[in-house]
Amino acid sequence: MNDTLPPLREIIRKHDLRAKKSFGQNFLLDLNLTGKIARVAGNLDDSVVYEVGPGPGGLTRALLANGASRVVAVEMDERCLPALEEITNAFDNRLEIISGNALDINEPEAMKLNAQVTARIASNLPYNVGTLLFIKWLTLETWKPWYSSLTLMFQKEVAERIVAKPNTKAYGRLSVLAQWRGNVRIAMHVPAAAFTPPPKVDSAIIHYEPTEPIDPDVKLSDLELVVEKAFGQRRKMLRASLKSLPVDALKLLAMADIKETARAETLSVADFVKLAKTYRQLL
């Protein structure tokens, strides 16, 4: 870690950076912990890393110290910008700060990406937009995507939903979207006590790497629709939960060779892909 930077607690005191609920903020101040998270992201040498919600910059400092050629950080809280500027100065201007809402950012454009650049996303995501951003990155039409990996902090319950397998309570829409064209795992757990202020729940780091889709001919919009309908009424049999689709639900299930009495949580990711492909054939 760069010796010219003071401890994060001093930075927070200096800039009066009390975490705000309205920004979904919980700061990580342990630089050993942020270093571990940065290492989960992989070999950062020559990588450009995109970070959302850096706050006072604990993870930012770790990403730069672990070899990232550049970090592009999007921060909505203007109070944090002077603290982040100190990191920019300490790390030879390898940190670029964007003041704005990450939901509105065109990341490849903001990061000035080209074919020679390896891009990664690594963030202690603000709790209030974390799932929305993850879905945004999972549902890009162009695949493989512009990033090579996602290393993201979520509430433990959300992380468990992302990696969940069929026939479990946690298995659902997020599980299918994350797993149909990517490998994902929980890389480490982070207790609530590690944060300032401590949230009411523990957190976890997931690491996601995009892969080829299970079936490249499946349309993303079809998969999203079928999954949404199936899990929208997860306690019902599929013959009922898929009834609102603009095709005959019984015919759809029969053609996809899926029992009409099955429930959404019993289907594999490959089953949902097959349902989505069959749905397109029936339109």
Question: What is the model's pLDDT at position 229?
Answer: 97
* Alpha carbons 27 and 15: distance in angstroms, whole number: 14
Token pair recorded at residue 184: 């994902």
Which structural domain range is residue 14 located in? 8-210
| One domain for residues 101 and 163 | yes
In 3D, which of 195, 208, 252 has the Cα closest to residue 55? 195
> 63: closest CA among 90, 77, 45?
45
The whole-model pTM stands at: 0.93
Task: Write the CATH number for 256.
Answer: 1.10.8.100
- Chain-centroid distance of CA 66 in Å reads 21
- Residue 204 lies inside a defined structural domain of this protein: yes
Q: Predicted confidence band at 12 (pLDDT cuts at 50, 70, 90)?
A: confident
Please report whether residue 121 resides in a domain. yes
Please report the pLDDT score of residue 173 as a whole number: 96
Q: In what order do the strands lie in the sheet with 70-75?
A: 95-99, 70-75, 47-52, 118-124, 149-155, 203-210, 182-190
Q: Is the pLDDT of residue 24 over 90?
A: no
Confidence of residue 13 (pLDDT cuts 50, 70, 90): confident
Q: Give the residue-averaged pLDDT of 99-118.
A: 91
Pair 271, 134 in one domain: no
Same domain, 32 and 128: yes
Q: What is the pLDDT of residue 1?
A: 47
80 secondary structure, DSSP code: G
Q: Is residue 133 part of a domain?
A: yes
Residue 244, domain member (yes or no): yes
Average pLDDT over residues 177-197: 94
Three-state DSSP at 52 gives strand
Q: Which of 70, 63, 68, 56 is nearest to 28 (CA)?
A: 56
pLDDT tens readout for residues 199-230:
889 999 999 999 999 999 999 999 999 999 99
pLDDT for the residue 186: 98
In whole angstroms, give the CA distance from residue 215 to residue 146.
Answer: 20
Average pLDDT along the chain:
93
Q: Which of 186, 210, 234 marks a domain boundary?
A: 210
The average pLDDT across 111-137 equals 91
Q: What letter would DSSP give residue 6?
A: P
The whole-number pLDDT of residue 93 equals: 95
Tell me the mean pLDDT in the region 239-249.
97
Same domain, 204 and 160: yes
- Please tell me the least confidently modeled range out of 9-18, 127-136, 157-166: 9-18
Whether 215 is in a domain gets the answer no
Q: Tell me the residue type at 190.
A: V
What are the structure tokens assigned to 65, written together? 């110290």
232 and 154 share a domain?
no
pLDDT band at 4 (very low <50, low <70, confident <90, very high): confident
Give the C-alpha separation, 123 to 154, whole Å.
Answer: 9
Residue linked to tokens 């202020």: 197
Residues 129 and 229 in one domain: no
- Whether 96 and 204 map to the same domain: the answer is yes
pLDDT at residue 3 tops 60: no
H-assigned helices in the chain: 8-15, 31-40, 58-65, 81-90, 107-111, 130-138, 156-163, 173-179, 220-232, 238-241, 249-255, 269-282
Q: What are phi and psi of 240, to 5 degrees?
A: -95, -45
Which residue would you say has higher pLDDT here, 280 or 29? 280
Is residue 87 predicted with pLDDT exceeding 80? yes
Q: What is the Cα–Cα distance from 229 to 276, expressed in whole angstroms?
A: 11
Percent of the chain's residues with pLDDT above 90: 79
In a domain, 2, yes or no: no
Q: Residue 168 above 80 pLDDT?
A: yes
Q: Are residues 255 and 129 in the same domain?
A: no
Higher pLDDT, 14 or 161: 161
- Average pLDDT over every residue of 187-199: 90
The enclosing H or E element of 28 equals strand 27-28
Same domain flag for 33 and 147 = yes
Q: Can you give the pLDDT at residue 115? A: 80
CA distances from 148 to 14, 51, 62, 110 (A): 36, 14, 19, 17
**Which residue type is seen at 4?**
T
